[in-house]
């Protein structure tokens, strides 16, 4: 269990950012041991140079600043979740530069690893707002957590739709979790906290500085399996989120925008360049991520359909499972050549009982 006061103190040492802080705690085991180490011992950590080691060894106690943070946390019933805590979001741990601490109001859940982020312009058209609400609502109704940034426009529409649908949503702020921005979303933030979370990597009391938002965006995409863009110009903040999602090897989806409005240029550019998958409704997202989302999808059970299969089709179908299997392995199981298998698999695909995945993998359809 990481001692929060010591971790806060280490984070306040000038020049000690998230990556150095993670390296130090991983090397020494806990923040207290970092402060007990000599300059020489600190220098043995790869990312710590002489200047950083000296800054740690000669740092002050920061007791007053820590007390302010803890008082602010208590005032809004927030807490700190550290990188080493079980509660820390699974997907976020896997990005290049995960925050060491998340200031959290509300609850984090294991199911948040199946989240979808939705972002876009702060000044959407009626079309954009409608699409954002529809996608967020339908995903929330299927048990998928919606992640966004609580900004005006698309973000607000998505959070609101998810809450109204009785679903979970996570708002990632570019300010302290006790400084709700924009201020008109304070009531919405309280509703989000009831069955979701408002989170930030910034200290309590931090103002919504413009330089905070690009870094905030990497958390939005980092928590999520995929990011949906709805209306953004080529230089909009949502494009930064798309970039971080791509860097994190996450899926990026975009709703086509107007070709005559600036707010459609960003999404259309991503689609045209092949960096985002064009989507028209929720089914396009689910088709792409269905196997990753399967543990949480709330779908009505479908009555089994009686589909007639030929003898060899049945043999191939029976050899498949709910987990993807490569055609070479399938050939061994069925004692069949690749060319014969491809004929049968195509027939099974046309009958809607088999799906082909990238890399010549195949899987049974639900």
Cβ contact 74:173 at 8 Å: no
- Let me know whether 228 and 332 are in one domain: no
- Let me know whether 168 and 259 are in one domain: yes
Q: At what angle do helices 237-247 and 212-223 cross, to 10 degrees?
A: 50
Phi, psi of 110 (to 5 degrees): -60, -30
Within a domain: residue 134? yes
Name the pLDDT band for 302 (thresholds 50, 70, 90).
very low
Least confident of 114-118, 182-186, 257-261, 320-324: 320-324
Beta bridge partners of 361: 326, 357
Structure confidence at residue 98 (pLDDT): 97
- Let me know whether 236 and 161 are in one domain: yes
- Let me know whether 287 and 315 are in one domain: no
- Let me know whether 30 and 137 are in one domain: no
Least confident of 33-37, 130-134, 245-249, 307-311: 307-311
The CATH number of residue 347's host domain is 1.10.10.10
Per residue in 332-364, pLDDT tens? 999 888 888 898 988 888 877 888 887 888 888
Structure confidence at residue 304 (pLDDT): 46
Structure confidence at residue 298 (pLDDT): 64
Structure confidence at residue 352 (pLDDT): 78
What is the domain extent for residue 13? 1-74
Domain boundary among 74, 90, 122: 74
Within a domain: residue 13? yes
How far from 354 is each of 29, 175, 320, CA to CA, in Å? 49, 47, 9
- Let me know whether 31 and 64 are in one domain: yes
Within a domain: residue 148? yes
pLDDT of 289 > 80? The answer is: yes
Cβ contact 40:62 at 8 Å: no
Question: How many domains does the chain contain in total?
Answer: 3
Per residue in 132-178, pLDDT tens? 999 999 999 999 999 999 999 999 999 999 999 999 999 999 999 99
Structure confidence at residue 361 (pLDDT): 87
Three-class DSSP category at 227: strand
Q: What is the CA radius of gyration of the chain?
A: 24
The CATH number of residue 54's host domain is 1.10.150.20
Domain boundary among 293, 326, 343: 293
Within a domain: residue 127? yes
Phi, psi of 183 (to 5 degrees): -60, -25
- Let me know whether 152 and 205 are in one domain: yes
Structure confidence at residue 300 (pLDDT): 39
Structure confidence at residue 39 (pLDDT): 93
Long-range contacts of residues 247-252, Cβ cutoff 8 Å, at least 24 apart: 247/96, 248/94, 248/95, 248/96, 248/218, 248/221, 248/222, 250/221, 250/222, 250/224, 250/225, 250/226, 251/225, 251/226, 251/227, 251/277, 251/288, 251/289, 252/226, 252/227, 252/276, 252/277
pLDDT of 280 > 90? The answer is: yes
The answer, yes or no, to whether the previous bond of 182 is cis (omega within 30 of 0) is yes
Within a domain: residue 79? no
Provide mean pLDDT across the span 92-98.
Answer: 95
- Let me know whether 337 and 283 are in one domain: no
Domain boundary among 293, 321, 343: 293
How do 354-357 and 325-326 pair as beta strands?
Answer: unpaired
Q: At what angle do helices 4-11 and 63-75 cross, to 10 degrees?
A: 120
- Let me know whether 9 and 150 are in one domain: no
Within a domain: residue 89? no
Among the listed residues 186, 180, 178, 174, the one whose alpha carbon sits nearest the alpha carbon of residue 205:
178
Share of the chain above pLDDT 90, in %: 78
Provide mean pLDDT across the span 227-254.
Answer: 97
Contacts of 103 (CB under 8 A, 6+ apart): 73, 78, 79, 80, 176, 177, 199, 200, 201, 202, 203, 204
User: In angstroms, how far is CA 94 from the centroid of its own chain?
Assistant: 10
280 or 357, which is more confident: 280
Cβ contact 134:142 at 8 Å: no
What is the secondary structure of 27-55 as a DSSP string? HHSSHHHHHHS-HHHHHTSTT--HHHHHH
Within a domain: residue 142? yes
Structure confidence at residue 366 (pLDDT): 57
Within a domain: residue 85? no
Q: Distance (Å, rounded) from C-alpha 293 to C-alpha 280?
A: 19
The CATH number of residue 232's host domain is 3.40.50.450
Structure confidence at residue 79 (pLDDT): 98
């Amino acid at each position: 269990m990481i001692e929060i006061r010591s971790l806060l103190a280490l984070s306040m040492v000038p020049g000690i950012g998230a990556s150095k802080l993670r390296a130090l705690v991983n090397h020494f085991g806990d923040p207290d041991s970092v402060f007990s180490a000599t300059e020489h011992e600190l220098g043995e950590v790869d990312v710590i140079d002489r200047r950083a080691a000296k800054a740690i060894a000669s740092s002050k106690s920061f007791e007053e600043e820590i007390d302010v943070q803890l008082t602010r946390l208590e005032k809004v019933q927030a807490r700190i979740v550290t990188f080493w805590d079980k509660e820390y979001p699974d997907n976020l741990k896997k990005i290049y530069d995960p925050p060491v601490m998340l200031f959290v109001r509300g609850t984090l859940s294991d199911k948040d690893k199946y989240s979808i982020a939705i972002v876009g312009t702060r000044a959407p058209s009626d079309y954009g707002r409608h699409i954002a609400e529809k996608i967020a609502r339908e995903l929330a109704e299927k048990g998928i957590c919606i992640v966004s940034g609580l900004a005006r426009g698309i973000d607000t529409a998505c959070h609101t739709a998810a809450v109204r649908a009785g679903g979970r949503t996570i708002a990632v702020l570019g300010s302290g979790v006790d400084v709700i921005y924009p201020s008109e979303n304070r009531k919405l933030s309280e509703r989000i906290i009831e069955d979701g979370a408002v989170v930030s990597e910034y200290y309590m009391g931090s103002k919504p500085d413009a330089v905070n938002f690009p870094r905030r965006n990497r958390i939005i995409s980092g928590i999520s399996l995929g990011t949906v863009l709805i209306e953004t110009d080529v230089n909009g903040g949502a494009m930064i989120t798309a970039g971080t999602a791509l860097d994190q090897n996450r899926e990026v989806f975009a709703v086509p925008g107007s070709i005559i409005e600036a707010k459609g240029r960003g999404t259309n550019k991503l689609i045209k360049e092949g960096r985002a998958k064009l989507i028209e409704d929720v089914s396009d997202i689910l088709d792409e991520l269905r196997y990753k989302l399967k543990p949480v999808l709330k779908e009505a059970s479908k009555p089994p359909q009686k589909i007639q299969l030929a003898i060899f089709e049945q043999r191939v179908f029976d050899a498949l499972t709910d987990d993807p299997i490569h055609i070479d392995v399938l050939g061994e199981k069925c004692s069949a050549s690749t060319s014969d298998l491809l004929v049968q698999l195509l027939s099974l695909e046309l009958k809607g009982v088999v799906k082909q995945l990238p890399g010549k993998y195949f899987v049974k359809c639900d």
